[in-house]
Chains A and B, each alone.
Chain A
Amino acid sequence: MNDAPAIAVHELTKLFEGKRAVDRVSLTVARGEFFGFLGPNGAGKTTTIRMLCGLMKPTGGSAWVAGHDVVHDPLGVKARIGVLPDTVETFDRLTGWELVNFSGLMYGLPEAEVRRRAGVLLDLVDLDPADREKLVIDYSMGMRKKVALACALVHGPEVLFLDEPFNGIDALSTSALQKVLLDLVSRGVTVFYTSHVLEVVEKLCTRVGIIDQGRLLALGSVPELGMQAGLGPDASLQESFVKLLGRETRTGDLDWVRR
């Protein structure tokens, strides 16, 4: 393993029809770091992730993931990352078992090894043998997420991009998956994690970046963000997040609602 950071982003920019979706974002994520990437809806999180995954060409700037240039070597990036998107659009006429096997083979793993890993991963995400043989189209949202996570992990990625991974998953499975992710991080895997559930981000992430209107507003650990927001190191991530965005929380005058 080389010493280069897992993710290195410099002045990354993306324009959509003249509008700056991502505006000169620069950040570095070390190997084995659990990094949180936060922002309100439409802030530019998904666009940034898509550029880092080699799924979208940046308009300007540069980015390296796992030591590979996302613009000039997107296949090299894709071979070293695992992605769990927010909405799981996948091959839903395959069974869960087949889908994980298909993913492993697409990453060039030998068939016997893919089968071994698929078994381990589906045990890990708690998908019982009967459910593994069902078509993905018949899965609940939680089951789809679990299978998608297994697909993202089957090839042993160096960097894992997770977009709302616990959305739709029950509390028991969420707890188990969080342990799995922390274990992966302890083994040197880098997790780039986005979520709107700030309590979970605060619990899991070592550092957090906050993006709004395409610009990176703040970067640091939760106490550092509290300091940057002027709230002190003990401020919660929620308080710092709201303060850093600098927007009033709207309440409105609901005069027709009675106590």
Chain B
Amino acid sequence: MSHFRLLLWLRWKYLWRATPARRVSFVIGFVFSTIAAVGVGAMVFAWVHTSRRNWPDLTGEFIALGFMLIYAGWLYLCSLSDLYDPQRLAPYPIRPRTLFWGSCAASVIGFTPLFGIGIWAGLTLGWPAPLPLAAWRSALLLVFLAHLVFLSRLIRLTFLEFLTSRRWRDLAVLLSVLIGGGFYAFFQLMQLEQFQNALQLVVAAARERVFSRFLLPFPSGWFARAWLADGPGAMTAAVAFIGVTAALVVLGGKIENRLAFSKPVFARAPRRKAGAPRPFLRGAVARVGRLFGADVAAIARKELTVLRRDPLIRTQLLTNLFWLFPVVIGPALAMRRGGPAPHLPDVLGGALLFYELIFLLNLLGTDGLALRALALLPVQRLRILFGKHVCYAAVFLPVNVAVLIVVTRVFGNAARLPRDLAYHAAAFVVLVGAGSLVSVYTPQRLVIPGQRRSRTVEHEGCARAFYRSLTMMATLLLLSPVALARYVLANLGPGLEAVLIVGSLGYAAALYGISLALAGRAFTAREERLVEFFARS
């Protein structure tokens, strides 16, 4: 079997085994990709057809814009799989040019070509042409798609060292959340009339020939000119585009060759800064140490460092912030329509606490397998839990207080702010206390989408999920006295409020003390089981 065919075979195996449930996942992936590809085709068809019907003189402009969007979108979404990294295949006697061709051709294996077919169908049906022109356009489109595949691979090869670094992986996780969350927020904020305005802006720009003028210097502009085949420059543009595509192939082989003989990418020694690293939040941790003891400060610092450095946990924190949008946006839009939103601070405060529960009810989840190391420490288990509480209070409370102050000032009753903050603090303390018990009795792996896990890990099962939902309900039940004081008893008389606030805070403190003591004891008793639980993760 030739090297080329082996590279294709490799891609097929990886595609088939991307998930444990191979056949089902493959069929689901195929069905969803087909639906998405039909959607893309329909969008392209609508784009071309509508522009030809409504603005026939501007169709060329829209085509230029469309190809630029496809070009940029493809490069943004292109898969950066490390399957064909030269350092991995370099030990075999394979020619760098074969590796480049093979890795690019392997892009055909998978669901991506469905989108190519969708784009082709949309363009061909949206702008019917005589057979020779249709054939020319189809051939050009094939070159266009090959060009995109070559360019994606070239980008990956050029930035391989950076793209395989831990720094990039951490950054990529954050970027994907920020971009995804940004789109989500954008569509929440954008309203239908604004979309209509945007379309008018695009039409106005097309009338001014903005797209052809500014996109012509770029390959997508050359391609658009070639595809339109409506002027003397079309053939020159086609030759230029095909020439650039051929140059990408030559360059790809050369870069592949350079990487196969370069310094090892995967075995690269990390560059270390001179001198000892400065401990994170040294001053704050020292103050915690003076207040509560060095062991509590050390645990709090460890937890803070994990929250700061672990990209998956950071992602979870950020994702939670984006999920707050529906809670904020709905009432904010309602207020714009005429009514105030006095309960928004309450709703938002509750939402913040709810999204923080994933950490507060799963204190040991961030440790995972490292719990074994924690178990070796001669520290009271109660103090380990307390150290974690100090960390979460330091991370979450300032954010909660800041958000509540801003939202109350904008939407709510500013006079109620001190009381709202007091009730919020009481609720937080109740959740933290109850969370220590829940964490010790129903620990959970911190499951985050995209996290790579071994195939042999069993799912936790319905009984465990049911047990955990019971503990969640019990936690909310423990919260009910604070809620009762805030929403029912406070309405009985204004003089009663001070007593209720003090009572709520006292209740929270007492519950916290009892829960922590019980959780500390339970942690000691169940330590072996807890370590075993995470070891199976």
Contacts and interface: CB of A to CB of B under 8 A. Distances in A.
A56 B17 contact: no
A102 B6 contact: yes
B88 A55 contact: no
B1 interface: yes
B162 interface: no
Interface residue SS majority, chain B: loop
- In the complex, the 6 A-B pairs of residues with the closest C-beta atoms, listed nearest first: A78-B93, A79-B93, A106-B92, A57-B261, A75-B93, A93-B17
Nearest to A83: B91
A105 B6 contact: yes
A91 B92 CA distance: 13
A56 B93 contact: no
A74 B1 CA distance: 21
Given A79-B93, A89-B88, A106 B17 contact: no
B455 A138 contact: yes
A94 B83 CA distance: 12
Contacts of A90: 88
B15 to A, nearest CB: 10
A107 B92 contact: yes
B127 interface: no
Contacts of B267: 46, 87
B90 interface: yes
Contacts of B158: none
B14 interface: yes
B88 A103 contact: no
Nearest to B456: A138
Contacts of B93: 75-76, 78-79, 106-108
Contact of A56 (B18, B95, B262): B262
B336 interface: no
Interface string A50-61: 100111110000
B514 interface: no
Contacts of B17: 93, 135
A102 B267 CA distance: 24
B173 interface: no
Nearest to B260: A55
A78 B17 CA distance: 29
A117 to B, nearest CB: 15
Contacts of B3: 106
A79 B454 CA distance: 34
12 contacts: A50-B264, A55-B261, A90-B88, A91-B10, A93-B17, A94-B10, A102-B9, A106-B6, A107-B93, A111-B1, A137-B454, A138-B456
A202 interface: no
A105 B267 CA distance: 26
A256 interface: no
A256 to B, nearest CB: 16
B263 interface: yes
Interface in A77-111: 78-79, 83, 87, 89-91, 93-94, 98, 102-103, 105-108, 111
B125 to A, nearest CB: 38
Interface of B: 1, 3, 6, 9-10, 13-14, 17-18, 83, 87-88, 90-95, 260-264, 266-267, 454-456
B365 to A, nearest CB: 24
A50 B262 CA distance: 10
B263 A16 contact: yes
Nearest to A106: B92
A105 B262 CA distance: 25
A108 B95 CA distance: 13
Q: Which of B9, B261, B455 has most A Cβ within 10 Å? A: B261
A56 B455 CA distance: 35
A78 B264 contact: no
Q: Which of A76, A89, A106, A107 has most B Cβ within 10 Å? A: A106
A94 B13 contact: yes
A75 B95 contact: yes
A137 B6 contact: no
A211 to B, nearest CB: 17
A103 B92 contact: yes
A193 B363 CA distance: 47
Contacts of A137: 454-455
Contacts of B456: 138
Given A46-B264, A56-B262, A83-B91, 8 more contacts: A16-B263, A50-B264, A55-B260, A56-B264, A76-B93, A89-B87, A90-B88, A103-B92
Contacts of B13: 93-94, 98
Contact of B94 (A16, A83, A106, A135): A106
A90 B88 CA distance: 7
A79 B90 CA distance: 11
Nearest to A86: B267
Contacts of A107: 92-93
Contacts of A94: 10, 13
Contacts of B6: 102, 105-106
B408 to A, nearest CB: 51
A201 B84 CA distance: 35
A89 B266 contact: yes
B402 to A, nearest CB: 44
